[in-house]
Structure 1
Amino acid sequence: MVNAGSESHGEDASNTPEWINEEFFKRILDKDESDNVKINKLLLSSGSSKIDNYASVLYRAKIKYALCSQPNQEKIRSFVMKTEHFEEGLQKDKLGEMAIFETEVRMYTIVLPMIKAKLREFGDQTVLAPKIFHSSLEMPRNIVFEDLVTEGYSIISERPGSLEEIKLALKKLAKIHAISYQMAQMGNKDITTFNKTYVNTLNLDDFVVLRDGVKLMKKVISDQPDLQKYLPHFESVEKFLFPKVLDLLNAAKNGKRSGVQVLNHGDFHMKNLMVKYVDNELKELMLLDYQTCIFGSPAIDLHYAFVMMYSPSMRLEKMDELLYYYTKNFQDTLHTVQYKGHIPTITEIREEVRDYRHWGLYLIFTLLCFNYAFMDGIDLSKIVESEAARLALFANTKILDELRLLLPRLLYLGYFEE
C-alpha cells in the first residue's frame, strides 16, 4: 500500500509494502533540500526487469513536490530504491543469510568515499558509483540511490558489451583495485575484512545452480560427439574443483595473503554496468551493486569479467589485450597517487590469473550460460532455479560453438590439472 496521492505500476510495485510511501521519501527530500517539502504525487514502478536483478527488489520512485518555503514552484525528482526480498520464497529465505545490504552500505558509506577521496587528492575525477541518499540496516533493510536513467544512463540490454565499454569498466575496476591495494598495504581494516560472496557463504544445496556446474556441463558435452573426448577431464576435475574454489575465495580470510591482494567487486558482470551515450559516443559508465565485495586476489574479478562481461569474441581474441589494459591502469593509478611500495607487474598479475585458474574454470561451468542469457534477454530467475532452463540454454549453438574453441584452450593452459 502507498498513500492516496501515490500510484504503483509493474509487478513488484503492485506489491509494495506499506512503509514505502510518501512519508518515507519526504524524510529523504527534507534532508537533501535542507527544507521541509510537500509531496504532491508519488509514482512507484519496478526498478528493473526479471533479467536484470535477482538478489534484491528494486523500485523507481518519481516524486512531484514543492518546498514549503516555495509552494508554487513544483519540482520533480527520481530515485531508485533497493530493498531485500519481503515475499516468502527462496530469495527471501536463503539470500537473507548473505550480508548483502551490510556489505553494500559499508561500500557506499565508508569504502568508496575513501577511495574517491584518495583519487580526488591527486586530481582524478573518476566517478565510481551512483550517489546514495539514504540507507538503513534496520529491518527492512534498504538503500536509496540517484536514478541514473534520468541522467541519461541505460543498461546494456540484449547485446554483448562493446570493447570500448568493457575497457572503461576495467579501467574503473583497476582504480578501485589499486587504491584498495595501497590501503591494504597500509593496514586499513575497512578494506581487508570483506570476505563473503555467494559461493563461499550460501548453502549450495539450496542453490544448485552454484553447485552443479560440472554436472551440467558433462550432460551438455555428452550429447556432442566431437566434445565427448573432454569427459575424462571433467570427471577428473569434478573430484577437486569445488574445494579448490573455496580455498581460493577464503585465502585472505584464512591468513594466506601472499601475492597481490585487493578489494574485489565480487559480481563484476554486464548487468552491473550502466552506460551513458551522447550523440552516439560513450561518455560515461557506472559500476553498480557492490553487494558481494571480497578481499583477495584481483583474479577473482578478472576471471569473473572473462566469463560474465566479455563477449565470446573477446574471450577468444582479446584476453591478453584486456588483461594488459587492466594492469596498466592499475599501475598508472598507483603511480598517480604516489604509492611508494611495490607495484605489481603484468607478470605478477598473470600469475594471479593462473593461480586462480580453478576459480575461472568453475565460473565457466557455472555462469557462462548466464552471459548468454543476458544477451538474449532471458528471465534470470528461471535460469537460477531451473536446470532444464539452463540445459535448454546450452542447446544454443552459439554456446556450443564457443565451447569447441574454449575447451581445448583451457586444456592446454592446465585448467583441468589439480
Structure 2
Amino acid sequence: MAEESFNADELNPPEWLNTLFITKVLIGHEKAPELKVIDLTFAPASPKGDHYASIMFRAKVKYTTQKGEFTKSLIIKTMPEEEGLKKDLFADSPLFITEIGMYSKVLPECERILREVKDNARLYVDCIYHSLSPKQVIIFDDLVEMGYTVVRDRWLTQEEICSAYGKLARIQAISMKMINERPDYLKDFKNGMCEMPGLMDSPIINAGMAPFIEFLGSTPELNKYQAYFEKIKLRYKERLRQTMQEYRNNPQPDGYYVLCHGDYHCRNMMFKHNKETGGFEDCMLLDFQGCNVTPMAVDLIYSIYMLMGPKQRAEELEHLLKYYFTVLLETLRKIGYQGKMPTPLGFWAEFKRHRYYEFLMVSTFLPISVGLRTYNFDIEEMLYNDETRRKCYHLKEYVVDAKKMLERFERSGYFEDL
C-alpha cells in the first residue's frame, strides 16, 4: 500500500514508543523479568480513513524469555502529539479513560455474564496494556494475526451485519441489566462523541445542514422537504444534545437506555472468514472509546448510515434492525433481566422520538460517507473544506440514497410536530 494512503502522523512513531517501552510492556504481560526484545519494527496499523480520534501503530516484536524465542504482533493506540485539527478536537477528551474502562471492567463482566448462561460469544480482543500517564496508550493483541480483517473494498453482507448486530445486542442487553440492577456500575460512561470538547461546534456538525438545505432546493423531486429542514435547522443541535444526555438529565419512563458504542460503523469492526471456504466465521467490535449510556436508538440510527450499504438501507433496513431486536430480547431472557421488557412497538417508537439524530446523519454524515467510500475523497478535505464537502451532496449515489431515506421519514411521520 502506498505511503500516502496512511495518516501522516502514523508514519513515524513518537520517540517514547521504543524498545525500552515495549520491553517493559511485555515483561509485565508475560510475567518474565528476563525478557529481552531482540527486534522491533513499527508501521501504521490501518489505512487513512479507518479511524480519526487517535493514532495507531502495528509493532512486530521478536523477543526471548527462558522459554525460548517468540514473535508477537501488537496494535498500539495513542493520542497524536503533533499540532493539528485532530489534536485540537480530542486532546482534552476522555476517550482513553472510556476505552480503558470498557476493556478492563465492562467487557470482561459482559463476557462473564454470558458464560454463566452458556453463551460463548467473544466480545472483545485482549488488551495487554493500558495507561493514562505519562502517555495515553492502549495495546491490544493483533486481530489480523488471528485471521480478522477490516472490510474496505465492498459493502458488508447481510450475514456480516447480523453478526455485528448480534455482538452489539448482547452487550446492550447486559447493560440494560446493569442499569436496572446496579446503575452505578456504568455511571462513568457519560461522554459520547457528540459531547467531546469542541465537536458539537466543529465543521463536522455545523457545516452540514446549510448545504443539505441548498441541495434539497436545487433537486426538484426533493423540493418538498426543504421547508421541513429549514425548520429543523433552528434547533437540531439542541435536540442532539438532549438525546445524548437524556438518560442523565431527563430519563423517560418509556425510554430504552443502553450502553451505546458511540461510533458503530463498519471500520470499527473486523470480520473473520474461513481461509479455505471463504465462509463467514466471526465479527469483532473495536474502538469502544465513545461508549456512554444513551437511548437505544442512538447506535442503531448511526448504523443505518455507517454500517449498512445503500441496498440494505433501501431494502433490508427493517429486517436487519429486527434481527438486532430479536437477539436483544433473547439475551435479556437468558441473563434474567427483571426490568420492563422492550416491545416491538416501543422499539420502533424510539427511532421516531430521536429523529433529530437521524436528520443529522442524512444531512451531514451520509454525504461524507458516500464521498469517502465510493469516491475515495480525502476525509480531512471533506470535513474541513467547504468546497469539497459540498461536492458530496451532488454525487449521484447520495442523491438516490437521500431520496429513499427522506421518503421513509415521510412515511414514518418524522416531519409531523417538528
Matched AA of 2:402: L
Q: Which residue of 2 aligns with 1:381?
A: 380
Structure 1 residue 174: Cα displacement: 0.5
Q: Cα distance 1:408–1:152, how it changes in 2: closer, same or farther (>3 A)?
A: same
- CA-to-aligned-CA distance 1:354-400 (integer Å, 9 cap, x gap): 21111111122121123324433443222222222222223221111
Q: Which amino acid aligns with 1:369?
A: P
| Alpha-carbon distance in structure 2 between the residues aligned to 1:260 and 1:193 | 19
Contact 1:184 1:192 in 2 (8 A): no
1:35-93: CA deviations, max 9, x gaps? 221111101001121111111000000011111x24xx421100000001110012112
Normalising by the residue count of structure 1, what TM-score does the alignment of the two structures yield?
0.93
Aligned match of 1:64: 62
1:277-317: CA deviations, max 9, x gaps?
11211111110100111102110111011111111111121
* SS state at 2:346 partner: helix
Q: Quote the residue 1:270 is aligned against.
A: 266
Aligned match of 2:3: none
Corresponding residue number in structure 2 for 1:219: 214
* Rounded Cα–Cα distance in structure 1 between residues aligned with 2:367 and 2:231: 22
- Of 178-187 and 23-32, more deviation after overlay is shown by 23-32
Deviation of residue 97 (structure 1)? 2.9
Match of 1:119 in 2: 114
Partners of 1:257 and 1:230 lie apart in 2 by: 30
How do residues 308-323 of structure 1 correspond to structure 2 at under 5 angstroms? 308-323=306-321
1:383 aligned partner, one-letter code = M
Q: 1:130 to 1:373 in 2, by over 3 A?
A: farther
RMSD between aligned alpha carbons?
1.8
Task: Name the stretch that deviates more: 30-39 or 196-205.
Answer: 196-205
TM-score by length of 2: 0.93
Alpha-carbon offset, residue 414 of structure 1: 2.5
Percent identical residues: 30
Aligned to 1:28: 25
Task: Verify the 8 A CA contact 1:79 1:144 in the aligned structure 2.
Answer: yes
Structure 1 residues 183-222: aligned runs within 5 Å: 183-204=178-199, 207-222=202-217
Partner of 1:400: 399
Match of 1:285 in 2: 283
CA displacement at 1:10 relative to structure 2:
8.5
| Contact kept? 1:59, 1:80, Cα under 8 Å | yes
Q: Distance in 2 between matches of 1:206 and 1:251?
A: 20
8 Å CA contact 2:7, 2:47 repeated in 1:
no
- Residue range with higher mean Cα deviation, 47-56 or 76-85: 47-56
Deviates more, 1:331-340 or 1:251-260: 251-260
Q: 1:162-181 to 2 correspondence within 5 Å?
A: 162-181=157-176
State the match for 1:303 in structure 2.
301
Task: Judge conservation of contact 1:101–1:141 (CA < 8 Å) in 2.
Answer: yes
Is the CA contact (8 Å cut-off) linking 2:362 and 2:402 kept in structure 1?
A: no
Look up the equivalent residue of 1:269 and give its one-letter code.
H
Q: Deviations over 1:194-224 (max 9, x none)?
A: 2222223332475212123211211323332
Distance 1:334 1:416, change over 3 A: same
Among 354, 361, 364, which residue is 1:363 paired with? 361
- 1:97–1:202 contact (8 Å) kept in structure 2: yes
Alpha-carbon distance change, 401 to 381 in structure 1, aligned in 2, over 3 angstroms: same
Deviation at 1:189, TM superposition (A): 1.4
For the pair 1:158 / 2:157, whether they are aligned, the reply is no
Deviates more, 1:401-410 or 1:165-174: 401-410
Matched residue of 1:251: which SS?
helix
Residue in 2 that maps onto 1:50: 48
Aligned length: 407
In 2, Cα distance between equivalents of 1:240 and 1:339: 37
Q: Distance in 2 between matches of 1:180 and 1:74?
A: 42
Report the 3-state secondary structure (helix = DSSP H, G, I; strand = E; otherwise coil) of the residue aligned with 2:17. Answer: coil
Deviations 1:119-170 (A, max 9, x none): 1111111111111010011132010011111111110103211111111111
Instruction: Confirm whether residue 241 of structure 1 aligns to residue 240 of structure 2.
Output: no
Q: Secondary structure at the match of 2:337?
A: coil
Q: List structure 1 runs of 4+ shifted beyond 6 angstroms.
A: none
Q: Which runs of 5+ in 1 are unaligned?
A: 1-8
Q: Which runs of 5+ in 2 are unaligned?
A: 1-5
Counterpart contact for 2:58–2:73, Cα < 8 Å: yes
Q: Which moved more, 1:207-216 or 1:267-276?
A: 207-216
Contact kept, 8 Å, 1:52 with 1:380, in 2: the verdict is: no
